[in-house]
Structure 1
Amino acid sequence: MRALLDRWLPSPTTASRREQLRAAGGALFGLLLTALLGQSMAPGALFLVAPIGASSVLLFALPASPLAQPWSAIGGNVVSGLMGVLCVRWFGDVLSTPLLCALAASTAIAAMFALRCLHPPGGAVALTAVIGGPAIHAAGFAFPLVTVLVDTTLLAVMAMLYNNLTGRRYPHAQQSAHPNPHATKDAVPTVRLGFKPEDLDAVLKQYNQVLDISRDELESLFMQTEQRAYQRRFGIISCADIMSRDIISAEFGTSLEEAWQQMRAHRVAALPVLNRARRVIGIVTQTDFLEHGGLDDYRSIRHQLQRFLRKSGVTHTEKAEVVGQIMTQHPTTARLDTPIVDLVPLMADSGFHHIPIVDEEQRFAGIITQSDLVAALYESRFAEAAA
Structure 2
Amino acid sequence: MSDVVVDGNDVSGFVDFNADIVNKLKQLNEVGLCSASFDIYKDDTRKLDLTVNDEITDKHYTACNRAKIELSKQSAQNKDHFICSTWADLTNYTGYLLNPVEAVYISDLNKILTKDSKDAKFTTYLNVSEVCNLVKDVAHANKGNTYTILCGQSLDITLSVDDSVLSADIDIGFYDELLGKDQHKEAMNSLVREALYNLLSDLDPKSRLSHLVNHFNAFTSKLLVSYEQYVRNYSFDKVRKEYREKATEYIDKVNKVFDEVAAKTFSIPLGVWFATSQMQATDSMESLQFFKNISYCVMVFFLVVVVCWNLLGQFATLSATESEYKDLFKRLGDELEGGQKDELRTLKQDLDTRKLRVWLKLVATMVFAIVLLGFTVLVTYKAITLPIVAG
Band the TM-score falls in, shorter-chain normalisation: under 0.3
Higher helix share: 2
TM-score (normalised: structure 1): 0.19
Higher strand share: 2
TM-score (normalised: structure 2): 0.19
Radius of gyration: which is bigger? 2
